[in-house]
Chain A
């Protein structure tokens, strides 16, 4: 306490002295505007040449800066403008600076590639950047959709607000190989293991930029990032000031195929205020409401083989629809029929003619459309308090909180209902060092698993087993109808009608009351998840270049991370109390400019998780400048990831099977030493007992090589970016389905593949997993603000095959080829007020592997478009946009929502 007091006294004195000093200085004020459109230019960096002093123009283009003496030279810089220097010899008049728009490409500065600012042209690894201007001009209603237009990016769309990007493969709704960081904070829900950037995080008005590193990126950002890292950086209130808001009103479901047409409401607001040269704050909020897209894939799925199969509810008594729930419950009707034969011996010979093969019958399910609450609501609230301790150091206290409903695809479809997550951080930023502490507080709210809920709902209405249960009724009716001469199919359908008599009708009070009761009961008796897992992280870095600069630039850093798993036994094996997982790591990076043309960077990182051995991940990169603005990059990178919290500790009973973690504790929990589990596929397909070894899991690692070129051609009007990569995984983390005898026997039989206890367990694959691919992109600036862009990429997987078949479910989930093309203009017509953009995306068909379902995803083509009109006096934009303009429904993962067109009109105030 005493220390704090003395610190505050010192701080106050320092400020008073600074104020005294200011009295002797000269204040220069002025205004910056676009030389072409005469619009005020906000957020322009204004610095005094040769000093650390600097400021930004406010939302009206005004600035004021204090100089010790005159004359000085002011330097004005901003993305999209030519840098400008203005000599100032007098402060008596207000400066008017004409800022010339720049049409040059490749001048953006990125940070994430090396953790130090550098031009994107000189990045040693593949990197993509989305600026606030890109977001303004894009036709996408949601900025997450813009990410999908980046080179080599695949998006898995679970629902309207749940979109998960990846690069270089391994896409999926809960992608744990791709990091998403918001202002340096890992945006992944620490318990549920999916990133929630679209739900909890920045609103589009507060995004300064998004940088996306393709491929391995653990060497600087730690565990995860095997397939890329996306860093979203918010706007600093010192730089971006004023009130901004955007109102977006749209319409969806215009063809009524999923539901009647409905409104899309999206309102966002940001208010940034520089109270003084020392203090600024911002508040951001966003509300989104719409009727979500839903999954309508009713294809029949064979869960034991993990493949789609022919049949429908009317043709397959064991039908299990992808987006139909409750029908996961299945049983062999022979148990019932043989019971009847025992009680009625005169029917036994006849029954024996029916029971030569299994008669698997599933309970009747309900479709996603019947079950899901389509009302997607997302509310975000965020803000920061920024305090400049001195000219070089800024303290930030910030928080992002979000709540809402959405739909997520995991082992089932999940209704993420009343989900809440907050991320709170304290940060000290200095040009030479950084300290950050943050926590992520997750609350799953009333989220529930559709399959488990509906299966238990069916049980609550009518139990499956017992002499009067659903299967007994079905079996007796089936036999009756067979005895009446009906065909098998007709007898099954008629028997189902008998067993389903009194089945709650969707929308009835009976249905609603029962369903709402069951969904609130934790799994496995109901469907609710009670996850309240937290994450705590402290990290820092120091740039030693001022000491080592004569030899090389050196950057060091470290972090400590702690997960606290709290699910009350509904998600993790934490019935006895919370489980903590501790990690720490440290890194160092050395950059040496060998010559004007060659820059080498070497970095290494060591991480240790208390449950796993430590792991060192090196990275070496080289950038060779073959000509000004033309660079060749070469990199050797490694990445790794510790098994996720779920892969370590999940203990989720999904009724049909149990999803468990790889921690050694599970050996005792499920008695695997005395009641072993065996590989189900080996048992099912080859009748072989292949015992599952529950050894210690190891972190997964990836070694990757990349060669690329980025440069400007055709008088710097054409930006070309080309790369090729090759990567090889070691100890690839995957899941395997195993079966254990329910009688406690030490061995299993083929019958146990149906009757035994099924587990999905994490494993380290011994097979070699390799990925390779390439990407190329062209951005061309035409006269009169027209731009045209084209990018294409290819991602491929190579894995060991056994007897011509893959022995491992890799969930690579990436189209072999994908292409984006767009044409746009940011200012044409009278006073260059009009703008437009048309974007086309095509992706190849591919085989999708997921926990909910696997199967072919057909090729997808979409067209997005927008036309806009600027109102310069208020820096406002009217935009008419369309996502999936032609309303050509598509899906990009088995079981995911079927996405149609979204048409909107937006008004943005003070947004440029």
Chain B
């Protein structure tokens, strides 16, 4: 019996030991691991540029601007538009020496703005540069309002050009694209894309041969308040507009024509030589009066307002096709206009939705625009009767960039009717 008991005790303890071992392995709820996050490998943007001799000038800019840390952060993601050395030289004086001198001369803050303006805070391969006319508006690393980091200066990558197959950053053709690095993508630009520093109003105010244009804006704004005034829009930093600004000569032509026609309209036909001479003198007098002509009762506010509205490009932002709402909400660089003429709407469409707009056409020399024309529906020349869109303005000042838009200086005042 004792033997049995001892055997049993031995067995029991053996069993206890066995289950002790077995039971020491209950599992706790463990986090389910999904696909492991992809750890970026390779060089960062900053390291890539530092390692590439052909980017040494822009790398110098980055270093001086104090942007190496930001562009070395492997957990961030940027697209950087980089002018290679040739592009920097072309933009900064035409020689390596002048380029270095320019870089040395510019303060770090200015260089930082250049770098930041060429940074888009996400990885943007060219395959994602998909957009309707004119381009893709993307935020840069420049914060316009220090109290609100969402308010950023924007830039405009696009797939445009003569055949619609060339990539641009603003109006700078991309010379090499889609270099994927650890923290983003590098595209190379044909020249240094610098950020604007002024709004349209300020920029236009600094152009001497746009005095008539400014006077016309002031006249058109009569009775308007707030952002209903074109002047306010031109001064508002977070809008995005394309303005066609006729130069003074264009306005003088318009003023002459209006005064000339106005006098003749008071005379019985057929006009005599005297009538024509007086009309010419009247026209010259009106031109001699300068921009103030547009402030007088020689023209009505409605006339000026209609003409000015015709120079602000617009598009329908309504979600209801039956009730279009046209607003000046895009920025069209010259390279965004195709070689095949297209109609673009204007603020005239805000009042007359069916108005055909302006016929725009770009002529290309390689990736660059050599000529940009805009044809209006109406014409200053009434005899013989001109067909619509035969009255064409040439761009004499192209791609004038501002914080809140772009303007092209044209040599004729476009008439909506």
Contacts and interface: CB of A to CB of B under 8 A. Distances in A.
Contacts of B76: 484-487
B20 A886 contact: yes
Interface stretch (B148-156, B195-203, B211-219, B305-313): B148-156
A344 B150 contact: yes
B28 interface: yes
A353 B25 CA distance: 48
B122 A482 contact: yes
A350 interface: yes
B5 A485 contact: no
A782 B136 CA distance: 87
A298 interface: yes
A853 to B, nearest CB: 10
Q: Which of B23, B37, B122, B149 has the most CB of A within 10 A?
A: B23
B68 to A, nearest CB: 14
Contact of A296 (B22, B29, B35, B78): B29
A471 B397 CA distance: 46
Nearest to A348: B137
A480 B70 CA distance: 16
A353 B122 contact: yes
B27 A299 contact: no
A373 B76 CA distance: 42
Nearest to B143: A483
Contacts of A344: 150-151, 238
Contacts of B238: 344, 346
A51 to B, nearest CB: 43
Given A296-B29, A300-B31, A483-B139, A861 B121 contact: no
Interface in B286-333: 317, 329
Interface string B1-31: 1001100100010011001101111111111
B150 A862 contact: no
A784 interface: yes
A861 B19 contact: yes
A840 interface: yes
Contacts, number: 141
Contact of A299 (B32, B35, B240): B32
A861 B22 contact: yes
Interface residues of A, number: 55
Nearest to B331: A346
Interface in B123-141: 124, 128, 131, 136-139, 141
B354 interface: no
B75 interface: yes
A296 to B, nearest CB: 7
A346 B32 contact: no
A694 interface: no
A490 B240 CA distance: 30
Given A480-B150, A783-B4, A838 B139 contact: no
A889 B26 CA distance: 7
A476 B34 CA distance: 28
A350 B77 contact: no
Interface string A567-578: 000000000000
Contact of B32 (A308, A347, A489, A490): A308
B33 A485 contact: no
A484 B75 CA distance: 11
Given A346-B238, A347-B150, A840-B19, A484 B26 contact: no
Contacts of A479: 150
Contacts of B78: 485
Interface stretch (A171-179, A309-317, A701-709): A309-317
A350 B139 contact: yes
Contacts of B163: none
A346 B23 contact: no
Contacts of B122: 350, 353, 482, 485
Contacts of A786: 5, 8
Contact of A298 (B31, B124, B141): B31
B386 interface: no
A836 to B, nearest CB: 9
A309 to B, nearest CB: 7
B149 A349 contact: no
Q: Which of A297, A842, A861 has the most CB of B within 10 A?
A: A861
A862 B1 CA distance: 32
B149 A483 contact: yes
Nearest to A316: B34
B19 A898 contact: no
Interface in A816-867: 821, 823, 838, 840, 842, 858-863, 865
A100 B5 CA distance: 22
A886 B1 CA distance: 33
Contact of B5 (A299, A783, A823, A865): A783
B73 interface: yes
B377 to A, nearest CB: 27
Contact of A310 (B27, B29, B33): B33
Contact of B131 (A346, A347, A349): A349
Nearest to B238: A346
B138 A863 contact: no
B31 A299 contact: yes
Nearest to A899: B26
A13 B152 CA distance: 103
Given A483-B121, A485-B73, A888-B24, A838 B29 contact: no
A483 B23 contact: no
A867 B215 CA distance: 105
Interface in A378-412: none
A346 B137 contact: yes
A823 B12 contact: yes
A340 interface: yes
A66 B156 CA distance: 111
A573 to B, nearest CB: 36
B142 to A, nearest CB: 10
A138 B387 CA distance: 107
A861 B23 contact: yes
Contacts of A886: 20, 23-24
A862 B317 CA distance: 68
A311 B36 CA distance: 10
A782 B1 CA distance: 11
A32 B77 CA distance: 89
A890 interface: yes
B11 to A, nearest CB: 9
B27 A858 contact: yes
Interface string B27-68: 111111111010000000000000000000000000000000
A838 B16 contact: yes
Contacts of A309: 32, 34
A485 B19 contact: no
B128 A485 contact: no
B75 A487 contact: yes
B152 A345 contact: no
B316 to A, nearest CB: 13
Interface in A335-353: 340, 344-350, 353
Interface of B: 1, 4-5, 8, 12, 15-16, 19-20, 22-35, 37, 70, 73, 75-78, 119, 121-122, 124, 128, 131, 136-139, 141, 149-152, 154, 238, 240, 317, 329
19 contacts: A299-B32, A309-B34, A310-B31, A346-B240, A347-B139, A350-B122, A350-B138, A353-B124, A480-B149, A485-B78, A486-B75, A486-B77, A487-B76, A487-B77, A489-B37, A782-B4, A859-B26, A862-B26, A863-B23
Given A310-B33, A346-B139, A784-B5, 19 more contacts: A300-B31, A315-B34, A344-B150, A346-B154, A346-B238, A349-B136, A349-B137, A350-B139, A482-B121, A487-B76, A490-B75, A782-B8, A786-B8, A823-B15, A838-B12, A858-B27, A861-B22, A885-B20, A891-B29
Q: Across the A-B interface, give the 10 residue pairs with the lowest CB-CB distance, nearest first.
A: A310-B34, A861-B23, A485-B76, A858-B27, A297-B29, A485-B121, A888-B26, A480-B149, A840-B19, A890-B26
Interface of A: 296-300, 308-312, 315, 322, 340, 344-350, 353, 476, 479-480, 482-487, 489-490, 782-784, 786, 821, 823, 838, 840, 842, 858-863, 865, 885-886, 888-891, 898
